[in-house]
């Protein structure tokens, strides 16, 4: 997965160089083992710092912990490289996804561009989650053909 991670980091740079204030990777863009997650986050933190952007990374974390064996996460990193949140998807697609679900609390961060919030993909099918005081809702998703 190192090649995929390096490609995602490299693909982030042109948007930042063109003036983007934030870059959002898709849901599960990066798959990693639990033991490598902190290194993957550190590389993204360095990219956010160097680029001076908000960077949200979609990470599928695999673990050996039963019964779900991992998480589906979105991690928001600010321009200083600080992790603002690690959000775990609250609603897996029935019959399609199996992972440890999050608590369903929608994270919100104050930024110079407004209040940014986050859910992941199928979470948007739950209207109560969308009633969040935010200016921008980030929704990384994994779309099918």
Query: For the chain, how many structural domains are there in total?
Result: 1
Evaluate whether residue 44 is within a structural domain: yes
> What would you measure as the largest C-alpha separation in the chain, in angstroms?
44
How far apart, in whole angstroms, are the C-alpha atoms of residue 125 and residue 119?
10
Interior CA angle at 12 toward 22 and 99, to 5°? Answer: 80
Reference 57, options 41, 70, 35; nearest CA is 41
Q: Tens of pLDDT along 50-83? A: 999 999 999 999 998 877 789 999 999 999 999 9
Domain that holds residue 88: 2-105
Phi-psi category of residue 132: left, alpha or beta, with phi > 0 → left and psi -120 to 50 → alpha: beta
CATH of the domain at 54: 3.60.110.10
Evaluate whether residue 93 is within a structural domain: yes
Evaluate whether residue 39 is within a structural domain: yes
State the 10-residue block means of pLDDT for the chain, 145 residues long.
87 94 95 94 96 96 85 97 97 90 95 96 93 95 78
Evaluate whether residue 142 is within a structural domain: no
By the 8 A CB rule, do 1 and 35 touch? no
């Amino acid at each position: 997965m190192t090649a995929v991670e390096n490609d995602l980091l490299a693909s982030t740079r042109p948007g930042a160089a063109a003036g983007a204030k934030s870059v959002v990777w898709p849901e599960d863009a990066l798959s990693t083992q639990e033991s490598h997650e902190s290194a993957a986050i550190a590389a993204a933190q360095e990219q956010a710092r160097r680029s001076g952007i908000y960077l949200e990374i979609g990470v599928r974390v695999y673990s050996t912990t039963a019964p779900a064996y991992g998480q589906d996460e979105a991690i928001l990193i600010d321009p200083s490289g600080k992790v603002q949140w690690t959000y775990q998807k609250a609603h897996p697609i029935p019959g399609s996804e199996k992972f440890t679900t999050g608590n369903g609390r929608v994270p919100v961060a104050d930024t110079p561009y407004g209040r940014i919030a986050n859910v992941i993909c199928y979470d948007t099918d739950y209207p109560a989650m969308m009633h969040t005081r935010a200016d921008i809702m980030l929704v990384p998703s994994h779309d099918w053909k």
